Amino acid sequence: MRARFSKMQGAGNDFVVFDAIRQSIPVARVNWRRLADRHFGIGADQILIVESAEDERHDFRFRIFNADGGEVEQCGNGARCFVRFVHEQGLSAKPCLLVETRAGLIAPQLVEGGEVVVNMGPPRFDFAAEGFLAPSAFPPGALLQQGRIQSLEIHSPQAQSLEVQERQIRSVRIPSPHTGSPSDPAPAGLVASGSGTTAQAVSLRLDLLSMGNPHAVLWLHSPAPDALVEGLGPELSRNPAFAHGANLGFACLDRQTSVLHLRVYERGVGETLACGSGTCAAAALAIEHGWTGSPVHIHARGGKLRIDWAGGVAPVHLQGPAQTVFSGEIELPLH
């Protein structure tokens, strides 16, 4: 069975997009992992499927398959490519769409200058209530609460072998309940029973947030080096504490410029050049901590993104580019 597709990218996060409205796509039978393979398929971080909405009040349904073939809840960069695709393909002329995802409704919108803004909905700070944690897989006391932010301390043998030093991991200054001013630093990234490479147990403290999909953020003093992302990403994203895996953000915020340097190791994919929902999560956490205000400008490996969030229960807005690279036809690999 042959099918038409478009190859697209948003800040280097690349996708293969299929119109399943005007052509038949046997979604359950397609080997999406094979199709996403960069040697034996088209190659992509995710596969995006455009379907008719289940609710007639909405415009489309948006389905996302990771490079490992698993279906996931949300993809911010993919949502921007989604709205660009439906306009270029003549499926809609509406500047703002209501799109169904597994995580709920999103509202992507074309704006002047060719970029796309996506209303990603409000950040969800009660990570545990979202069902993304497996409480039996971590000890009592490992789940911490600071205001609305939940954090998890995870023992990391890989961090120990990578010779992670305390100076690489950012220390968060916790506001004093008496003065409202910063008190003595409490480690947000690294909690070690010892120092440097002699630590007997290295625990990484990860901030948790759901954007409809699970994100964990490790805060750093400086932009993440390759060794840190490549070494810790696979281990932490598959940690049994996360019931469905997690997307791991390695974040460094420049408070003077409100520029957030971010690399994300995505579950089921690996590191991508940008992660839309991951940028939303990291920016919302930085704002909630009180480290910066809105907007937050994200520098990812594949380009620049902008996050606007008014705080509270307001939705997070993700803005960035979306571009079609090429289009074609392929014989779908079926199971």
For residue 117, what are the β-bridge partners?
Answer: 109, 319
Place of tokens 């990484």: 204
Report H helices in the chain: 32-36, 76-88, 157-161, 226-237, 276-289
Amino acid letter, residue 46: Q
* Residue of 268, 274, 265 whose CA lies nearest to 299: 274
Q: Are 221 and 253 in contact (CB under 8 A)?
A: no
Is 75 annotated as catalytic? yes
Q: Which of 81, 96, 252, 275 is catalytic?
A: 275
Q: Which of 75, 81, 252, 280 is catalytic?
A: 75
* Residue of 328, 269, 288 whose CA lies nearest to 67: 269
Tell me, what DSSP letter sits at residue 243? B
Q: How far apart are CA 332 and CA 3, in angstroms?
A: 7
Q: Are 289 and 172 in contact (CB under 8 A)?
A: yes
Q: Are 285 and 250 in contact (CB under 8 A)?
A: no
For residue 122, what are the β-bridge partners?
Answer: none
Amino acid letter, residue 186: A
Tell me, what DSSP letter sits at residue 201? -
Q: Are 214 and 246 in contact (CB under 8 A)?
A: yes
Residues 6 or more apart whose CB falls under 8 angstroms from that of 54 comprise 61, 100
Is 96 annotated as catalytic? no
Catalytic positions, please?
Answer: 75, 275
